[in-house]
């Protein structure tokens, strides 16, 4: 697991935990061709007072730059997370009917 701390000025503004290699079972999802291996953003936390300042998008951009050409992905654990991933333009892969679990969002 990789751990990241994001600093703006002298202040910590966000943290992230990333699994460098995660295997995805495409049979669980519907939609576009689904990647079978991703760099999985397990958690990204933006300081409560700074959540409307686009820091989440900046942190994700830094992760994309860090991991280069790798396909990044994240599971949206709740409605606000799902809206975040959609807002930054990531592709949603919904679970097949009858499959339990959160939707997968992948970087463009």
Mind listing the pLDDT tens digit of every residue in the chain (108 residues)?
Answer: 999 999 999 999 999 999 999 999 999 999 878 889 999 999 999 999 888 889 999 999 999 999 999 999 999 989 899 999 999 999 999 999 989 999 999 998
DSSP state for residue 32 in the 8-state scheme: S
- Three-class DSSP category at 57: helix
* C-beta separation of 94 from 101 below 8 A: no
* C-beta separation of 34 from 24 below 8 A: yes
Q: Which CATH number fits domain 2-106: 3.40.630.30, 1.10.630.10, 3.40.1160.10, 3.40.50.10480?
A: 3.40.630.30
In whole angstroms, give the CA distance from residue 8 to residue 14: 9
């Amino acid at each position: 697991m990789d751990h990241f701390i994001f600093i703006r000025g002298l202040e910590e503004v966000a943290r992230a935990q990333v699994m460098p290699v995660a295997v995805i079972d495409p049979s669980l999802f519907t939609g576009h061709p689904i990647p079978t291996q991703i760099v999985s953003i397990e958690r990204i936390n933006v300081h409560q007072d700074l959540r409307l300042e686009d820091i989440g998008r900046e942190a994700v951009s830094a992760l994309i730059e860090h991991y280069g050409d790798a396909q990044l992905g994240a599971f949206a654990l709740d409605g606000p997370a799902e809206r975040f991933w959609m807002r930054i333009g990531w592709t949603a892969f919904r679970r097949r009917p009858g499959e339990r679990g959160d939707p997968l969002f992948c970087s463009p």
